[in-house]
Structure formats: structure tokens, C-alpha cells
Structure 1
Amino acid sequence: MLSLFGCGYHFATVKDSLPGGVKSVFIPTFQNRTKESGIENMFTSALRNEFIKSKAIQVLDRDQAEGEIVGKVMVLSLEATSHQEKNLEERGTKILAREYSASVTVEVSLIRNKDQKVLWSRSLSDSRRYSSAEDLLVNETKQREAFDKIAVYMMEQVHDQMFEDF
């Protein structure tokens, strides 16, 4: 027979509401304050998916929800972090990026609908590195994958922090 008493393990309590007792939310499309078209959709989808997956509270239409989680993609940057020399035959030797760092900063707030009170608010930043490719299409795909990983990770953090802070 297995006994878990006194061994240091405990069962985490599952919370069924957010700060302010909010049990249902509407998640509108994030605002995009950057020049990267469509980045707001990645973050919106990642946040919606996180709440739907957790089933802790309901994600509803605006007129049915007790609260609204609003987000803004504030800063997005790409920076070459590693370089290499490459002989481009007739164009000579050029210095090309070998690795990039993609970084994003978002602001997310939980607002209670009945009185528009901000119940929770955070600014979060994250970055990911990815290797560059000579093929432009492959490079764009790697960049999108980096931003997608950032979005998923950051929205997991938003979800978890909202429940932990209550």
C-alpha cells in the first residue's frame, strides 16, 4: 500500500475563477503596435487556446462574459546575433547573418465588464533565437516559428499568472 502522507507532496488546488471572481472571459483580438502584420493574431490565438485548453473558466462572447482579457503587442524586434563571411562569387565577399534573435513585449490586462475595473495587468517580454537560411522563404518560416513559440510560451505565462495572483 502506498501512502503519500508526510512525504512532502500536496495536491494543487484548482482555481475556478480569476481575480475579482471572474468566471468567464471574452478575449478580443490583440492590438498590434508593431509593424509586423498579423502578429496580433498569433498572440490572440495562443491566449484563447490556453484558456480553452485549461477549462478553468469559460471563454464566451463579449455580451455574455464577466470579464475581458485585452492584449497589446507593444514591441517586436529582430536582431542578427551571429554573422559569417560568405563569398558570393561575382558580388564578392559579404557578411551575412547566421543567427537571429526574435523578441516581443506584450501588455495584457483583465478588465471586469460591469465596472470596467482593471483586475490584473502585466507587461511580459520573451525572445527566441533561430538560425538563418539562405532561402528567403525558409528564413521567413523560421521567423514565424520563433514568434509562434514566443506567443505560446508567453500566453501560458499570462494564464498561469492570472490564476496564481488571485
Structure 2
Amino acid sequence: MFNRRSGHRRSLPIWMLAAVVLSMTACGYRFSAGEKLGENISTVSVKMLENRTAETGVEHIFTNDLIFEFTKNGNTVVESDDADAVLSGTIVAMPVATVAYRGQITSVERRITAVVSLSLSDRNGEIIWSANGISESETYGILTEKIATDYNKREAIRALSQRLAEAVYSRITDKF
């Protein structure tokens, strides 16, 4: 800093200097890609989920999001029964409920909920993790054109599928 009266540079207050030094030598905390599944699991196979709902094609969306979540967190995903672990499961239900109305009978917003049951087995078929009734919900707007409403619903399914995959991965890695 420059002092106008004396024409000399004034030094930074010691607390500012300390703050700069500390910020440059921080504790090293950082966000990591996540936890792997354990020492004995280096490869994972994610089987196509069974779809027991009326929503066609959601099994592909959910399975792909699960594969992405495992890959994103540093796991090797393979398409083989020789994998160290196999994730399989079922999309049990996808109920839709109206959450907002205009007037007494016109819906303007709905909520779709996905409910899945999953299990992770080792290469011998022994279940090492399982959970029933894992669910996520997302709301979407109802528009006058059906095609626009269908688009909103599909986007809501994509969003809840991503959150569900993150939640599943977190629950699985909590075990290890």
C-alpha cells in the first residue's frame, strides 16, 4: 500500500499477510471423485434394470445413469458376468400425482416418483448389498399441448434418475 502523505510504501497488516499465506497453504481438502467399492472389487457389471412400470424405455435411462455414476467415481464397469460385482434390480413403480391445480379440476403440475429395488452381488452370487424401495421424485409442468407435457415428464424422469443413481452409489459405498 502506498501512503500519500509520506510517499513511502506501507507494509500490509500482518493479519492480511497471514491470511494470504494460509489460503495458499490450505489443508488440502478437495472434492474427490468418490469412494470405490472395496479392495476386492475392481470391476462392476450393471445389468439392465427390469421395468415393471408403464413408462416405456425408463430402464435404459436408469441403467445408463447407474453406469455413469459408477464410472464417474472411478470404478471399472464391464459387460461381463466375470465382474467382481454385479448390480441388478427392478424399477418397481413410477406413480404420478397432481401437486398443483388451476381451479378445481385443471392440473398445472405433477410429481413423478420412481421406486427401485437393487442388489449388488459378488462373483459367487452372494448378495453383498441390497435395498428395496429406494425412491426419488421430480415435479413437472402440465402444458396445453400434450407433446410439451410429455417432454416435461421425460425431463423430470431424467433428473430423478440422475439423483437416484447418485443416492444408490452413496448408499452402496457407505457399506464399504
Q: Who is 1:31 aligned against?
A: 50
Q: Distance in 1 between matches of 2:151 and 2:30?
A: 41
For the residues of structure 2 that align with 1:34 and 1:130, how far apart are their CA atoms?
A: 19
Q: TM-score, normalised by structure 1?
A: 0.82
Among 92, 108, 123, which residue is 1:74 paired with?
A: 92
- The CA RMSD measured in Å over matched residues stands at 2.1
1:49 to 38, 59, 68: 68
Are the aligned partners of 2:35 and 2:73 in contact in 1 as well (CA < 8 Å)? no
Identity of aligned residues (%): 23
Distance 1:158 1:15 in 2: 13
Q: Which has the higher strand share?
A: 1
Is residue 151 from structure 1 mapped to residue 151 from structure 2 by the alignment?
no
> What residue identity is the alignment partner of 1:32?
N
The answer to whether the Cα contact below 8 Å between 2:113 and 2:137 also exists between their aligned partners in 1 is yes
Superposition TM-score, scaled by structure 2 size: 0.77
Unaligned residue ranges in structure 1 (runs of 5+): 86-93
Q: Distance in 1 between matches of 2:51 and 2:141?
A: 26
- The secondary structure found in structure 2 opposite 1:116 is coil
Stretches of structure 2 lacking an aligned partner (at least 5 in a row):
1-20
**Equivalent residue for 2:121?**
111
For residues 61 and 54 of structure 1, the distance between their equivalents in structure 2, rounded to whole angstroms, comes to: 18
Higher mean alpha-carbon deviation, 133-142 vs 64-73, is at 64-73
Shift of 1:63: 3.6
By how many angstroms is 1:64 displaced? 3.6
Higher alpha-carbon Rg: 2
What is the Cα deviation at residue 46 of structure 1?
0.5
Aligned length: 152
Pairing partner for 2:77 from 44, 59, 79: 59
Give 1:122's aligned residue: 131
CA–CA separation in structure 2 for the residues paired with 1:12 and 1:76: 33
1:81-104 C-alpha deviation (Å, 9 max, x unpaired): 22224xxxxxxxx83211101111
Residue 142 (1) aligns with residue 142 (2) = no
Please give the alpha-carbon distance, in whole angstroms, between the structure 1 residues aligned to 2:95 and 2:26.
Answer: 48
Measure the CA separation in 2 of the matches of 1:142 and 1:31: 24
Using the TM superposition, give the Cα deviation of residue 19 of structure 1 relative to its aligned residue in structure 2, in angstroms: 5.2
Q: Secondary structure at the match of 1:146?
A: helix
